[in-house]
Structure 1
Amino acid sequence: MPHVIVKMYPGSSEEQKEKIAQEITNVIIKHTGKPEEAISIAIAEVTEDLWIQEVYDKEISPNKESLYKKPGY
């Protein structure tokens, strides 16, 4: 606990993904006190042409009330 899934467009390098995962991990540790061993991070790439259909319509739009950060599009 917790497990975080980051969905983003393809194109980031493995180094960039590792840095993103580490920064998210650091924030979770800072604000929850959970140990690093308890945290898992996944990064799923979704192409731009599928973003609305696969991410926005299925995950963002139906769950707007529970989003702590809402998109501006």
Structure 2
Amino acid sequence: MPHIQIKLFKGKTEEEKQQLATELMKAAQKVLGLEDKSYSVAIEDFLPEEWKGEVYEKEIMAREDLLYKKPGYKM
């Protein structure tokens, strides 16, 4: 069961987040071929000042071996 987890800066509307979740699921379905009910999508908002410690260091750099697309920025 694929679970897609997105972390982004606060400020996106609920409609934008719902559209993102829908489009990500469609892309995953195209590749993996599973039904809608197989997917879950979570979106977590962060303030810009939280990003370095909570996301970049803990989720990106500390788990770099899991990345299929690395960020093009450094902090």
Q: Is the TM value for this pair above 0.5?
A: yes
* Structure 2 partner of 1:46: 46
Please list every run of 5 or more consecutive structure 2 residues that lacks an aligned counterpart in the other structure.
none
* Structure 2 partner of 1:69: 69
Q: State yes or no: 1:6 paired with 2:6.
A: yes
Equivalents in 2 of 1:71, 1:45: separation in Å? 18
Please list every run of 5 or more consecutive structure 1 residues that lacks an aligned counterpart in the other structure.
none
Aligned residues: 73
Equivalents in 1 of 2:4, 2:66: separation in Å? 15
Equivalents in 2 of 1:45, 1:71: separation in Å? 18
What amino acid is aligned across from residue 63 of structure 1 in structure 2? Answer: R
Q: State yes or no: 1:30 paired with 2:56.
A: no
Equivalents in 1 of 2:72, 2:64: separation in Å? 12
Residue identity over aligned pairs, in percent, reads: 40
Could you list the runs of 4 or more consecutive aligned residues of structure 1 that deviate by over 2 angstroms after TM superposition?
none
Task: Note the C-alpha offset of 1:63.
Answer: 1.5
TM-score normalised by length of structure 1: 0.95
TM-score normalised by length of structure 2: 0.93
